Amino acid sequence: MKIIDGGVTAAKGFKAAGLHAGLKKVKRDMAMILSETDAVTAATFTTNKVKAAPVIWDQKIAEAGKARAVVVNSGNANACTGSQGLIDAEKTAEKAAALIGTDKSNIYVSSTGVIGVKLDMDKILKGIEMLYPELSERGGKSAAEAICTTDTFTKECAVTIEVSGRTVTIGGMAKGSGMIHPNMATMLSFITTDASVSLETLRKLLGETVEDTFNMISVDGDTSTNDTCIVMANGLAGNAEITESSPDYDAFREAFSYVLGELAKLITRDGEGAGRFIEMKVMNAPSKHDAKLLARAVISSSLVKAAFFGADANWGRILCAMGYSGASFEPSLVDLSFSSSKGEIAVVKNGEPLPFSEEKAKEILLEKEIYVVADCHQGNAEAVAWGCDLTYDYVRINGDYRS
C-alpha cells in the first residue's frame, strides 16, 4: 500500500467540484462527485430514529446498489422538514441527473448544517447548474471544503495498491467536528475507488470497516440526523473483480480500512474546540465486543474529556467509565498507562494505584496527542477508540451555532 496525495478524485474516472451557492454567507457550501460510469455502491447511515430527508432518499439508492453521482450541501441539514424535505431531496437528484444524463435513482443527495430549516431550492438548483461544468479531476479539494460546517480543516486521504497486476486507488473525504459519537457520528464521508468490487463484498466490507473506524470515535456524545458514509466503486482500474475469495481481498481490505481509519481520526483531531487528540486502546479483553464497549465508554465520558483538557492524570474517571460500559471484565486485573511524545507513565497495576510523579504526568498530558492503554489481562481481544478533550470553546461554538 502506498499513501498518496488526494481525496475523492484520486481514483480513475472520478471528478468533483465545490463552490459557494449562497447557502452560507461566504464559504463554499455545495459539492458534487461524479463517476464517469455507473458505480457499484454501498452506504451506511445514522442510527438516529430522526433521519434527515437525504438519508431517507439515499437508503433507496444504496439498496439498489448502483450510483453515478453525489450532490452535497452544507449550511442546511434538510432534517425535520417534513414532506417538503423529501420533495426537495428528490428535486436535487432530478436536477443533477438531467445534467449528467442518467436517472434520478442513480444520484445520492447529502446535506449537513442547521436542523429544522427548509432548503432554499432556488440556490440548490442554481448551485447544481454551476457545479456541473466545474467538475474535474482536480476538484477534490474544493469539494472537501464545501462539505465543511464547523470543521477547521478539510479531511482527505488516498492510497494505491496492486490488484491482479493493476494499480487500484482508494480515496475519500469526510466532514465532522461536533455531534460526533459512536454508531455513526455526525459526519459525512464519501469514498471512491476505481477497483472492480462485487456488490456483496463492498457492502460487507463497508459494514465491517465502519464498525472499527467511524463507529469508534466520539467528540461530544451526540449522534446526528444526517450521518452518512457512501462508497462508489467504478471498476475503471481494470482489475479482476474483488470478492472475499480473491487472492487480493486482504490487501484491498487493509487499504480500505486505512482510508476510513485516517478519516475517522482526522474528525476527532478536529473536534469542536478540541485541544488534544486521545487514543484509547484496550488490550487482552475477554472479547472484541467487550474491548469496544470499554474503549468507547472512556472516550465518550465528559469527565474523562474534561480531565484531559486540564492535563489531569485522573485515572479514576477512566476506570469508572470502564465500569459502567456494560463490558465483561475484572477491574482487579486492569493495568493503566498514559503516554505522549514526552514519555510514558503507568498509573494502575492489577486494579490498584501506582505511585507516580504528578509533574511527569502533567508534562505527558500537556501534549496534543495522548495515548491511553488499558490491559485487562483476561483474553486476547483488543479495540481502539479515538476522541478529544472537552473545552470551553466547545460550549462557545455550539452556543451560537445557528447565528
Residues 400 and 279: beta-carbon distance below 8 Å: no
How would you classify the pairing of strands 217-218 and 352-353? unpaired
Cα distance between residue 356 and residue 314, in whole Å = 12
Residue 339's identity, in one-letter code, is: S
The C-alpha cell at 162 is 496492486
Consecutive H or E run containing 131: helix 121-131
Which CA distances in Å does 236 have to 166, 168, 287?
Answer: 10, 9, 40
> CA-to-CA distance for 176 and 155, rounded, in angstroms?
9
Place of cell 462557545: 396
Say which residues have a Cβ less than 8 Å from residue 226's Cβ, sequence separation at least 6.
46, 52, 54, 55, 77, 79, 110, 111, 112, 186, 188
The interaxial angle of helices 302-309 and 315-323, nearest 10 deg, is: 170
- CA nearest 265: which of 217, 211, 300? 217
Closest CA to 80 of 47, 119, 45, 29: 119
Q: Could you give the CA distance from residue 109 to residue 87 in angstroms, rounded to a whole number?
A: 12
Residue 102 falls in the annotated catalytic set: no
CA 2, 43, 182, 383: dihedral to nearest 10 degrees? -40
Residue 247 three-state SS: coil
In contact, 220 and 165? CB cutoff 8 Å: no
- CA dist., res. 4 & res. 30, Å (int): 25
The CA distance from 187 to 148, in Å, is: 10
Look up residue 258 and give its amino acid. Y
Catalytic residue among 41, 149, 169, 186: 186
- The set of catalytic residues is 186
